[in-house]
Structure 1
Amino acid sequence: MKKYTNIAIVASFFGLWMDSYFSKNLQIMSGFFLIFTFGILHGANDLLIINKFNVKKPSDSQLKIFGYYVIVVLTGLLLFYIIPQLALLLFIIVSAYHFGEQQWQNLEVHFPKWLVIVFQFFYGFSILLLLFHFHTIKVQNIILNIVNATIPIPYFTLLLEISGITFLCLSAYFYWKSNKIRNKLLLEFFHLLVFAIIFKSSSLIWGFAIYFVIWHSIPSIIDQIKFMNGSFSKEYFIAYCRSAGIYWLISILGIALIYFTLKEEKLFNALFFSFLAAITFPHTVVINRMFQGNKKQKN
């Protein structure tokens, strides 16, 4: 993954350079294109991963698992319709933890599990708040369209300060307790600086797309392929795309339905992030189980 990290940094700044040549509409279109391809794809093979967990339970058919998965997604969408405030809060919490877990999946196991979870959450939460900080008004409008409530702008800054200080304190503790984690911590602080530059210099959608695809989705796809096949290769990647194809298509059709039903940009942005949240809930659980399975295999 060290080699990929170097590629990710170059790709991120290339995306930032391309941003200067894109019009506002082209930035939005390009950002959604990346999210709709690799972004959605990285969660489209959850059922295959679940099947790997259930190799000793042949009674759990793929259709049955698919049914459970769809129910969870629909429940998430229903929650956004009935109690949008709670749904949005859960989405931010789950997404923050999910982003942090991906970046810190190999955190040493001798730390208490609850402390590792808190650390992963505040790392991911800091990334989200950095994005919000540089696009506060846009984020404020999206939240308004989802929950019909306005979050005061100073609250975003306050949350970023709280999250940043908490993450710094936890990082200092880990740095003090473990020699092995020190280089990783310094590297991740550099990554946060890279993210801040990207978020500040690009639009909301384009900045989010660069992070979500290059730093989260593609590394997740690589990890998933390694989990399912033992290693990563071009052939395994093609097989991954083929097996994920039908579920990816279903997701794209769902988003297309939202778009053609509500073409107004404000409503589409709100419903798009609601849909993204709904598919994030079960995906986070699946990936968490995958990482736990990886740790057991290593032990």
Structure 2
Amino acid sequence: MNISLYFFIMNSITFIFLVCLYALFFIYEAIGGIKIENQIFYCSMLIIAFGIPHGALDHILFFKKRNTSQVKFYSIYLGLVLFFILLWIYYPTLSLTLFLIISAFHFGESQFEDIDIKKYSNSLLLYLVWGLSLLINLIFYNVDELNVLTTLFKDTEPFYYLYNHKFVTYGFISFNLVTIGLLFNLLHNKIINWNKLLSELFLFGLIHLTFFLFPFIIGFTLYFVILHSIRVMKYEYDFFKKESNNFNLFVFVKLVTPYTLLSLFFSGFVFILSSKDIISISIPLLSLIIISAITLPHAIVMHIFYHEK
């Protein structure tokens, strides 16, 4: 491969992802796998460490784009959180389905935030289909593991039917073909060039490889931490840096710390209640509820931020 083309394809985030992929694969093979308990513990720590901070600036980003009162913003934001929690209590399967769709759109939108895509008529479809491809690929390569994990807890058993092998296989083929077709359509409409297309296809292939090589929890953590959370935080940092030359990493950490600590305290408190059986919800389901409840308003704020940049 031509050296200049290689560097077009291999941006900094992709390079970090590839290094971590190689390193973790060799470690994983050397020790003969990682116990599920350790996977859950260490991956949860990484998701919390990077996932919560990447959404801790929603209030600041929103007010950079919209002139709305703080009372109105927080009322709507917290109202959406409460709404999704209640939806989970009464309609868990519907809630999981909505969570996957919202997450898919959010992942796809963040993936293409560096492209001037406003004039592309299929931009919303691209975001959704790319994200759905990501999630269906993760499920496809780990469907047997997911079925086992789902049946470990009584309150997650209803989700077993979402991982139907035939549906997952059809979805895997369909969403991947449509995603690749839409990427070529971006090239056809001159929204991206060949270098960007090859970069996206290269990364898409790396994600496939990651989900194929690793168990569900590790594969998702690698994607979520490096390709999503760090990528979004880098974009947020660059945005604030453009607004002020005095902005630096220390200031950025100060900005994300208050709401990160608040979220950690609340999540930890709820998990303790679950472990003590004060809340009769398993920790895996509780994790889904908390993450999805936060994701809904976060995805809306980031959509406004990306769309009005």
TM-score range for the pair, normalised by the shorter chain length: 0.7 to 0.9
Deviations 1:3-51 (A, max 9, x none): 2332232123323333333433222211111111101221122122223
Quick one: which of 257, 268, 273 aligns to 2:283?
Answer: 268
Deviation at 1:112, TM superposition (A): 3.2
The aligned counterpart of 1:13 is 22
Distance 1:181 1:124, change over 3 A: farther
The aligned counterpart of 1:160 is 172
The aligned counterpart of 1:289 is 304
Deviation at 1:272, TM superposition (A): 1.3
Distance 1:258 1:291, change over 3 A: farther
Equivalent residue of 1:198, what SS? helix
Deviation at 1:118, TM superposition (A): 0.5
Separation in 2, partners of 1:212, 1:250 = 22
Structure 1: gaps of 5 or more residues: 295-299
Separation in 1, partners of 2:82, 2:22 = 37
Quick one: which of 118, 122, 127 aligns to 2:134?
Answer: 127
Equivalent residue of 1:11, what SS? helix
Deviation at 1:168, TM superposition (A): 2.1
The aligned counterpart of 2:117 is 109
Structure 2: gaps of 5 or more residues: 1-9
Distance 1:217 1:261, change over 3 A: farther
Distance 1:245 1:273, change over 3 A: closer
- Cα RMSD of the aligned pairs, angstroms, is 2.8
Partner amino acid for 2:57? N
Number of aligned positions between the proteins:
288
Partner amino acid for 2:232? S
Distance 1:251 1:185, change over 3 A: farther
Report if aligned partners of 1:95, 1:124 keep a CA contact under 8 Å in 2.
Answer: yes
Deviation at 1:147, TM superposition (A): 7.1
Q: Which range is displaced more, 243-252 or 85-94?
A: 243-252
Alignment partner of 1:90 is 2:98: yes
Distance 1:16 1:64, change over 3 A: farther
Equivalent residue of 2:308, what SS? helix
The aligned counterpart of 1:32 is 44
TM-score using structure 2 length: 0.82
The aligned counterpart of 2:83 is 75
Residues 186-205 of structure 1 correspond to what in structure 2 (within 5 A)? 186-205=198-217
Report if aligned partners of 1:34, 1:209 keep a CA contact under 8 Å in 2.
Answer: yes
Deviations 1:206-235 (A, max 9, x none): 111111001100111111223334277422
Percent identity among equivalent residues? Answer: 24
Separation in 1, partners of 2:137, 2:35 = 23
Distance 1:52 1:76, change over 3 A: same
Report if aligned partners of 1:171, 1:185 keep a CA contact under 8 Å in 2.
Answer: yes
Separation in 2, partners of 1:182, 1:96 = 25
Partner amino acid for 1:153? H
The aligned counterpart of 2:255 is 240
Report if aligned partners of 1:107, 1:116 keep a CA contact under 8 Å in 2.
Answer: no
Partner amino acid for 1:41? P
Deviations 1:102-149 (A, max 9, x none): 111133336434x01101211111111111011113334566744725
Separation in 2, partners of 1:98, 1:218 = 15
Partner amino acid for 2:128? F
